[in-house]
Amino acid sequence: MNIYNPSNEQLLKSIQEDSAQSLQDKLHQLRQGQIQWEQKAVADRLECILKFGELVQENIDDLARILTSETGKPIQQSYNEIRGAHNRVEHLKNNAEKWLADNVIEGLEGTYEKIMHEPLGVVANISAWNFPYNVGYNVFLYALVAGNSVAYKPSEFAALTGLAITDLLYKAGIPKDVFQCIVGDGTIGQAMLEADFEGYFFTGSYPTGLHILKEVSPKMVPVQLELGGKDPLYIMDDVKEVKVAAINAAEGAFYNNGQSCCAVERIYVHEKIYNEFVEYFLEEVEGYVIGDPVSEKTFIGSLTRKGQLNLLRNQVNDATSKGAKLLLGGDELAGKGNFFAPTILTEVNHEMLVMKEESFGPIIGIQKVNNDEEAIALMKDTEYGLTAAVFATAQQRAEKVLKAMNTGTVYWNCCDRVSPNVPWSGRNKSGVGATLSSQGIRAFTQPKAYHWREV
């Protein structure tokens, strides 16, 4: 498999793909390895994860370079991601033993009951490229600590990162028959669906997620899907500083080139501050440095997948043909690499694709609303349910809006963030199940109820 740099189209490396046979061999190894891994104390399994965390920090310069080279993510954002993902390691260190301990319940008349949290077995982790550390850690670190062995398929667009992570896990003491990297594109992903895993944990798009759900449902094993979104942000007229709201909203929309599952994908602004907000927003985005992702000054690098350029261009054309105003950008940049100009559309409405379908790129629609009721109705007009945000001063008013949202996460005066302390989940087309928090480790276990009586 050839890996290209999306910012200059140069070949980075050719790597060996897995075949259906090598997948079966790896699965066989993982099945053997899991039996011993499960017997180890949680503290011993955790020790390997903590060592892995240290090794990642020691090798951060190389890892950030690899991530930037294959995804086009600006180098500073690669560092941010790798450093930020470490909070999962800390979170497991502080909580895993407590979460995985048996819960003993004293019953009546010398009868006892306890809940044991047993691992699922060998699990498949099919992952996305946009935040490979964050979305990878959410699955494989928690699965390993819970006593599972893991077949980890990074996206073909983050395969070098996947291999680098695998190498460090081995150096940290995770046995080779407990973690295996499955290299390849959707073809090997499909072969994983046909193989016998005891759980499927997927991060990616809704169409692939739906396909996976349909394919593996006859196996009757847990399936968890972390999918895309069309996440709304509403700016109320009582925000303390419109300028600050505009700067934060722009960052939420354009960070990682808009390629975040929880990126702000559509903005609604109260009519009283609409003009001022749009002015500050435009000024902020015009100031973004676009270019070589290796440069520390760059905020907008290249898109990871070439195909996304067409999707974005279509959204722009669709919107302008229906009356939207193109305030900035609107097309790809000349020259090599998958660069798309940061794009702002105003006078948009819900007849337009840009307000309905996931963009996953540096493009945003800003719509004026007259009141909170109109904002709520528009925010809820989506098939997705990942996150929703409100920037406002009055807490009660903000919470009324957030309560109405049918999303896994809501934000007040912040957006586009994930924390290990709280569950990460989507509703409707944004997914099934949750990672992170205590729920995130339970996802990789199955309960066994144990009853006993003293005789």
Identified binder of ligand NDP from the candidate list 68, 69, 149, 208, rule CB under 6 A: 208
CA dihedral 378, 380, 385, 387 (to 10 degrees): 60
Q: Among 87, 1, 6, 2, which residue's Cα sits nearest to residue 304? A: 6
Site string for ligand NDP, 132-151 (x = CB under 6 A): ---x----------------
Per CB under 6 A, 77 contacts ligand NDP = no
Identified binder of ligand NDP from the candidate list 162, 337, 431, 433, rule CB under 6 A: 431
Cα separation of 406 and 430, whole Å? 11
Give phi and psi for 406, each to the nearest 5: -100, 70
Cα separation of 191 and 199, whole Å? 14
Cα separation of 107 and 339, whole Å? 64
Cα separation of 134 and 236, whole Å? 31
Per CB under 6 A, 6 contacts ligand NDP = no
Q: Which residue is nearest to ligand NDP (CB)?
A: 189
Query: 260 vs 346, which CB is nearer to ligand NDP?
Result: 260
Name the packing angle between helices 60-71 and 159-171 (round to 10°).
160
Q: How far is CA 41 from CA 100, 180, 218, 350, in A?
A: 10, 21, 33, 54
Per CB under 6 A, 24 contacts ligand NDP = no
What kind and span of H or E run contains 311? helix 307-321
Per CB under 6 A, 125 contacts ligand NDP = no
Per CB under 6 A, 156 contacts ligand NDP = yes
Give phi and psi for 422, each to the nearest 5: -125, 150
**Site for ligand NDP (CB under 6 A): how many residues?**
32
The CB-of-138 to ligand NDP minimum distance in angstroms stands at: 7
Binding piece for ligand NDP, criterion CB under 6 A, among 80-88, 224-232, 313-321, 438-446: 224-232
Based on the residue annotation, tell me whether 54 is a catalytic residue of this protein.
Answer: no
Cα separation of 182 and 96, whole Å? 27
Identified binder of ligand NDP from the candidate list 121, 228, 232, 330, rule CB under 6 A: 228
Per CB under 6 A, 126 contacts ligand NDP = yes
Per CB under 6 A, 227 contacts ligand NDP = yes
Structure tokens, 72: 């086009």
Binding piece for ligand NDP, criterion CB under 6 A, among 2-10, 68-76, 154-162, 264-272: 154-162
Query: 180 vs 346, which CB is nearer to ligand NDP?
Result: 180
Per CB under 6 A, 330 contacts ligand NDP = no
Identified binder of ligand NDP from the candidate list 31, 51, 86, 211, rule CB under 6 A: 211
Q: Among 220, 41, 199, which residue's Cα sits nearest to residue 120? A: 199
Per CB under 6 A, 374 contacts ligand NDP = no
- Please give the angle made by the CA atoms of 66, 147 and 130, to the nearest 5 degrees: 25
Site string for ligand NDP, 409-428 (x = CB under 6 A): -----------------x--
What is the per-residue burial (b if ≥16 Cβ within 10 Å, else e) of 42-79? beebbebbebbbebbeebeeebbebbbbbbbbbbbbbb
The CB-of-18 to ligand NDP minimum distance in angstroms stands at: 11
Per CB under 6 A, 358 contacts ligand NDP = yes
Q: Annotated catalytic sites, by residue?
A: 226
Q: Which residues bind to ligand NDP, rule: CB under 6 A?
A: 126-131, 135, 153, 155-157, 185-186, 189-190, 193, 203-205, 208, 211-212, 226-229, 261, 358, 360, 386, 426, 431
